[in-house]
Amino acid sequence: MLRIVASTLPALRPLMRRRPLLNPKALVSSRLPPRPFCALSTSAPPAAAAAPSDAEAGEAVALVEHLTRCAAADRAPLRVAVLVSGGVDSSVALRLLHAAGHRCTAFYLKIWFQEDFRNFWSECPWDEDLKYAQAVCDKIDVPLEVVHLSDEYWNHVVSHMINEYRCGRTPNPDVLCNTRIKFGAFLEAIENLGFDYIASGHYAHVVHPYVENTEAPSVLQLSKDKIKDQTYFLSHLSQSQLRRLLFPLGCIKKDEVRRLAAQMDLPNQGRKDSQGICFLGKVKFSEFVEKHIGEMEGIILEAESGDYLGNHRGFWFYTIGQRQGLRLAGGPWYVVEKDVRNNVIFVSRNYYSLDKRRRTFHVGSLNWFDNSGPGNSERLKCKVRHSPEFHDCTVTKEHTEGNGDVLMVRLSEDDQGLAAGQFAAFYREDLCLGSGIILDSWDEMSFPVCSRALEIAKLEDKSSLGKPVRIINLEHLVKPEQEAIKVA
């Protein structure tokens, strides 16, 4: 039977009543005060389950050393707050920590906020998640606490996203959620409750220093599963956050996690992985943007010619490299630039042409796990989105009065999907050094927009443009060297 636990933890009671945290400034900066490494409290953890016996640890599955290496089995028993979502990954992470001898309490963070979308309440996304989370916890006799962080999520993630879209940038809600909510607001709430670590089902590996060397930093490494690796989403955490985290799945591949879930006979072993932005559930992204930002009709211009091709709903619905939703004939068309001031979208059919190079950009709001960051002109690897693919790159440090330290990044090859507002994470071998936010300022190698297109974009009265030019693509009828026909 499902039981939503009314929190018995004093520090969590305000969250259960949906009140804001007492220190919102700390959430905005996402920087928590340092805590001594592995400082074990002498008091018993609140509502924590007793450490399992040797027989219990081996009851569900014979755990070999490599399965518990990322679960800090050599330091058991630790007091661990485990974030669970009802999915397979977090459930296996909880089971591994429990089997490794740690004293675990599970926490489900309720961040669903879309009361405005009434038509979706019949399929409330967190209700099913919570039932699975409770079933897993009941199976291994671990207490589950439900914590409401909807207000915090709205104030420090969703509102930020809306503002970024209004400015023409493309934010990453998953990075913000990890930094400001899961390991920000929640970590702050349980700071004084005696837990040594927070754990989750992320695919990443945190290597902590030996207890004797408390001054050394913790480091973030790629997980064993390079396809599922989630270090990109964790790359903007602070050192004080990182040193409090455990990721038991960092040493395991996804297919092995699935096999373990079956061996452990977890209630959710056959459940599919979640997809998309976590807080939207079944709400389409376009519906969310329309609800909270609205629509404002603008024009679409061909970047190379300045031809007026059609209209769009508002620049915030589109990101660089986007192909869907343009509703233009003669394509495929891609968004290549945006004029935010004049609400104009520039498109091209030559997005992937060799002469349209996009490999140099600037990164600000830098965050490094060891504070110093990479060396000047150092060759590194980087990710500009969540993907198993890396770019070789060279980074050069710059300084601007307005934005503080800035990196100029030169990729070894083109990337046509660079978007301002996204994060760029940097790596030295398998070590994640940190990340920064891709800035609006592009160098001379950005996608060229002709002067005619720029002049038309500035027109106050765009009704003088008349009817859009209609492009008919006759590639299947004409020779490759012939251009498509433009029809007025």
Which amino acid appears at position 413 of this protein? E
| Per-residue pLDDT, 53 | 52
Nearest to 403 by CA among 368, 434, 440, 373: 440
Q: What is the pLDDT of residue 45?
A: 38
pLDDT tens for the chain, residues 1 to 488: 333 433 444 444 344 433 333 233 332 233 333 333 333 232 333 444 455 454 444 443 445 566 767 888 788 789 999 999 999 999 999 999 999 999 999 999 988 654 544 444 445 567 788 999 999 999 999 999 999 898 898 889 888 988 888 888 888 889 999 999 999 999 999 999 999 999 999 999 999 987 766 778 999 999 999 999 999 999 999 999 999 999 999 999 999 999 999 999 999 998 888 655 555 555 666 677 777 788 899 999 999 999 999 999 999 888 888 888 898 988 899 998 899 999 999 999 987 775 566 788 999 999 999 877 888 889 999 999 999 999 999 999 887 656 678 999 999 988 877 888 999 999 999 999 999 999 865 545 567 889 999 999 999 888 888 888 887 765 544 444 444 545 44
Containing 234, the helix (H) or strand (E) segment is helix 231-234
Q: 254-263 vs 88-99: helix axis angle to the nearest 10?
A: 70
Inter-CA distances, 464 with 101, 453, 459, 461, Å: 74, 15, 9, 6
Residues with catalytic function: 177, 278
Residue whose token pair is 């046509």: 416
One-letter identity of residue 271: R
pLDDT at res. 281: 54
Position 414 scores a pLDDT of: 80
* Strand stretches in 202-343, DSSP E: 205-207, 219-221, 245-246, 298-302, 308-312, 334-339
pLDDT value, residue 344: 95
21 contacts: CB under 8 Å, gap ≥ 6: 14, 15, 27, 152, 185, 188, 189
pTM, to two decimals: 0.78
DSSP one-letter string for 331-373: ---EEEEEETTTTEEEEES-TT-TTS---EEEEEEEEETTSS-
Q: Is 422 left (phi over 0), alpha (psi -120 to 50) or beta?
A: beta
Using an 8 Å Cβ cutoff, are 334 and 323 in contact?
Answer: yes
Please tell me the distance from the alpha carbon of residue 96 to that of residue 248, in angstroms, as a whole number: 7
**pLDDT at position 36:** 34
* Predicted pLDDT of residue 28: 29
DSSP count for the chain of H helices, then E strands: 15, 19
Give the per-residue pLDDT at 1: 32
